[in-house]
Amino acid sequence: MSSIVNIQGMNKYFGDHHVLKDIDLTVDAGEVVVIIGASGSGKSTLIRCVNGLEEYQQGALEVDGQALAVNGGHQQALNIIRQEVGMVFQQFNLFPHLTVLENITLAPMKVKGIAAQQAQETAHRLLERVGIGNQAQKYPTQLSGGQQQRVAIARSLAMEPRLMLFDEPTSALDPEMIGEVLDVMRELASEGMTMMVVTHEMGFAREVAHRVVYVHEGCIVEEGKPEDVFDRPQNERTQAFLSRVLKH
Amino acid sequence: MQGSGFTFDWQAAVDSLPYLIHGLPWTLLISFGGLVVGFLIGVLAGLMSLARTPLLRWPATAYIEIFRGTPILVQVLFIFYGLPDLLGGPINAITAGIAAIALNSGAYISEVVRGGVKSIDKGQREAGVSLGLSRLQTFRYIIWPQALRRMIPPLGNQAIVSIKDTSLFSVIGVGELVRQGQLYIATTFTAFEVYFMVAVLYLAITIPLSIILRWYERRGQVSAR
């Protein structure tokens, strides 16, 4: 299998704060990697580096064969990467002035130059796929949080990404809506989408992940198959973290 | 205080109307022309003030400080009486009035533009660029339309301010509402009634504008955000 994401010796600083420390991580095509860790551990920053929303200062990062330079250099590679990497945010970040349909068709039409009608057909098909086929003409604020997040997933899928990044996609949702979003992600994973998921949903991680990565204070301290990480954590940091989050 | 024996002469007020009304087109022309140009200046200066490079930011800041920090009366006197020395020829009073409104409102509008753009959540930009849109596309299709909606109420406010500011241009002889009133009073000596009617005519422009703005704000609260 070829790797889609290849991170080597990556370091990132926010001023004096050393956020990511010597990160080595590869993600293969079709692989689902779930990144867990406490708040502030750097796990969100890590996946935000993958599509250049955050710059890094040392090391190397390659996404789908494109090298993303340190300090945000090489704008051209960044543009290519962003077209091939989808991202789903904690706060959905739908465009409130556009309808659900327009949210989904905007990028395919403006970035790829796809004709309006074809973009709309794709959008309708994607909305069906995420289970909200009848909401196309509504505005985001007219939808529930769970529905909004599913639109956000459809919006990313419309660009036919090679890799999907999920940055705590269910953290802003009411508990009763978490399931519907995880279902969509589960289905995506089963269809072979390459995914990097930052989440606190340990049940999802255990069930869907091919690999779990535990991040502590900017370092990857443990990674492995979910059953190994969850049932037989080797690092004492991981053990402490898991005993805290799995108790509930 | 002793009663002055003054009574409001309704007939005099009504009689002044056909005369005053001649000032209305000038008031409207200067306001409208000035605000349209002022909006363009304001968008340009506002976006420049948001630029990363100081080379763009600095001139915008200087412009805003100068035209916000000096009275519009001084600005129009400078343009009308001062600039001809430099240009070597007189400037039409209407043109001077439009230029003054444009430059003055432009300074305030650029702050409105800057605030409007900055008020848009950074997640919107991140979502745009994450979808592969360029920075310019993200601005054009995502940030700007949302910012513009938020700018409407303060822009309307600025329109009302600028409409009232045109009254100052009576000093350079523009035949707008106040100037017409002054000329009329010079022959009839009915200052109370005439200035009352001048005020009524300003309200006839500004109150409808206020009503539209209130309606827009109420509507905005109901729909998105």
Domain ranges of chain A: 29-40+86-246
pLDDT at B225: 45
List chain B domain ranges: 19-224
Q: What angle do CA B166, B167, B172 make, to 5 degrees?
A: 85
Classify domain A29-40+86-246 at the CATH topology level: Rossmann fold (3.40.50)
Per the CB < 8 Å rule, is A139 touching B224? yes
- Tracing tokens 């970040």 back to the chain, one arrives at A93
d(CA B147, CA B117): 5
**B133 and chain A in contact, CB less than 8 A:** yes
Query: Are B102 and B43 spatial neighbours (Cβ–Cβ below 8 Å)?
Result: no
Both ends of chain B: CA-CA distance in Å?
56
Per the CB < 8 Å rule, is A111 touching B133? yes
Residue ranges of chain B with per-residue pLDDT less than 50:
224-225
Residue ranges of chain A with per-residue pLDDT less than 70:
1, 248
Q: Looking at residue B166, what DSSP letter applies? A: G
Phi, psi of B90 (to 5 degrees): -70, 155
**B129 and chain A in contact, CB less than 8 A:** yes
Per the CB < 8 Å rule, is A107 touching B131? yes
Distance between B56 CA and the closest CA of chain A, angstroms: 22
Per the CB < 8 Å rule, is B127 touching A87? yes
d(CA A234, CA B162): 71
pLDDT at A149: 97
CB-nearest partner of B145 from A93, A94, A97: A97
Largest Cα–Cα distance of chain A, in whole Å?
A: 55
Q: Around Cβ A124, how many Cβ atoms within 10 Å?
A: 16
pTM, two decimal places? 0.89
* Amino acid occupying residue A102: E
Query: Are B177 and B201 spatial neighbours (Cβ–Cβ below 8 Å)?
Result: yes
ipTM of the prediction greater than 0.90, yes or no: yes
Q: How is residue A165 written in tokens?
A: 């990044």
Query: Are A157 and A126 spatial neighbours (Cβ–Cβ below 8 Å)?
Result: yes
Phi, psi of A94 (to 5 degrees): -70, 160
d(CA B159, CA B141): 26
Beta bridge partners of B66: none
d(CA B152, CA B142): 17
**A106 and chain B in contact, CB less than 8 A:** yes
- Closest of A102, A117, A198, A106 to residue A159, by C-alpha: A106
Write out the H or E segment, with its range, that includes residue A22: strand A17-28
Write out the H or E segment, with its range, that includes residue A205: helix A202-208
Rounded-to-5 percentages of helix, strand, coil across chain A = 40, 25, 35
pLDDT at B223: 52
Chosen CATH of B19-224 out of 3.20.10.10, 1.20.1250.20, 1.10.3720.10, 3.10.180.10:
1.10.3720.10
d(CA B23, CA B177): 4
Specify the 3-state DSSP secondary structure of A222.
strand
Helices (H), chain B: 10-20, 24-49, 54-69, 72-77, 83-87, 93-118, 122-130, 135-138, 144-165, 177-188, 191-222
- Closest of A89, A56, A70 to residue A164, by C-alpha: A89
Q: A91 Cβ partners below 8 Å, 6+ apart?
A: A172, B121, B123
- pLDDT per position as a tens digit, B80-118: 999 999 998 999 999 999 999 999 999 999 999 999 999
How many residues does the structure list for chain A? 248
Q: Which residue of B has its CA nearest to A91?
A: B123
Per the CB < 8 Å rule, is B130 touching A87? yes
Per the CB < 8 Å rule, is A93 touching B224? no
Q: What angle do CA A223, A224, A229 make, to 5 degrees?
A: 85
**B119 and chain A in contact, CB less than 8 A:** no
Q: Which residue of B has its CA nearest to A102?
A: B141
Q: How is residue A118 written in tokens?
A: 């074809």
Which chain A residues are Cβ-neighbours of B141 within 8 angstroms?
Answer: 106, 110
